Copies of this chain bind each other. A is one copy, B any other.
Amino acid sequence: MRIALIGTGNLATHLVKAFEKSNDIDCVQWVGRKTTPHLELSRTPYFTQFQKSIDTDVCLVAVSDDQITHVAHQLKDIDILVAHTAGAISTNALEPIIRKGVFYPLQSFLQNTIVNWDDIPICIEATNRSDEHLLKTLANSLSKQVHTITQSQRLHLHAAAVFANNFCNHLLGISQNLTEKSGLPFAILEPLIRETFERSFSQSTLSVQTGPAKRNDLKTQDKHLALLSEKEVELYRSLSQTIFNTHNT
């Protein structure tokens, strides 16, 4: 399969790396605004504009949400399948493209990390059945977990990911601060954190909730609050209140 990839951010770069390793996929053009591509990815032909003259099956648009429509307008005359990679953006954002789709990998991508594509769920959507099949073939060549989902499901997943990744990450940061402040290694919390996340895969978190917020233990909460910064205090109160309400109303 011959792919065009538009974008030079973390996801785009990880996709180019994956395509360079793949036997099934040939990334025939990598397109970005930067005048020079990443040096270490020199095997993939890089351009600052989409090349209509290069035979291409699918064009992936891995740019920031607010650039998708702009890119689509630049591509308006092409008749290949164009899929964006965003979790919370409708395929309508790809207007005036006719053959529209979504190729959404459910993972948080950082620069300079090794990505194991095998395990990354890829959620796809397309406006017609044959394009869906095309995206599925592309996704299957990278990952063992490919899901055809609706726009509404994708948005729910994206919101769920914000809670599980962005928000939990922030709370783990406050944990890191607290252990650091007391001169202890964060590793001491590792078994507890592993248990927390592992439990969520096998049980309803509602049934395993514990702690001072659930049992309305205000004495303990006050001791914790005394250790926290102003903005952490607000967050602690807000989370404790919601947990209390969830389990006591």
Contact = CB atoms under 8 A, between A and B. Distances in A.
B193 A197 contact: yes
A108 B217 CA distance: 16
Interface stretch (A17-25, A31-39, A47-55, A198-206): A198-206
A187 B161 CA distance: 12
Contacts of A41: none
A243 interface: yes
A134 interface: no
A219 interface: yes
Interface string A132-170: 000000000000010101001101111111111111111
A163 B156 contact: no
A174 interface: yes
B199 A190 contact: no
Interface in A229-247: 231-232, 234-236, 238-239, 242-243, 245-246
Nearest to A153: B182
Contact of A163 (B147, B178, B195): B178
A172 B163 contact: yes
Contact of A174 (B110, B163, B176, B212): B163
B238 A188 contact: no
A210 B108 contact: yes
B176 A239 contact: no
Interface centre among A164, A191, A199, A243 (most CB of B within 10 A): A164
A200 B213 contact: no
B228 A159 contact: yes
A183 B148 CA distance: 12
A193 B176 contact: no
B224 A158 contact: yes
Q: Which of A108, A147, A181, A214 has the most CB of B within 10 A?
A: A108
A129 interface: no
A65 interface: yes
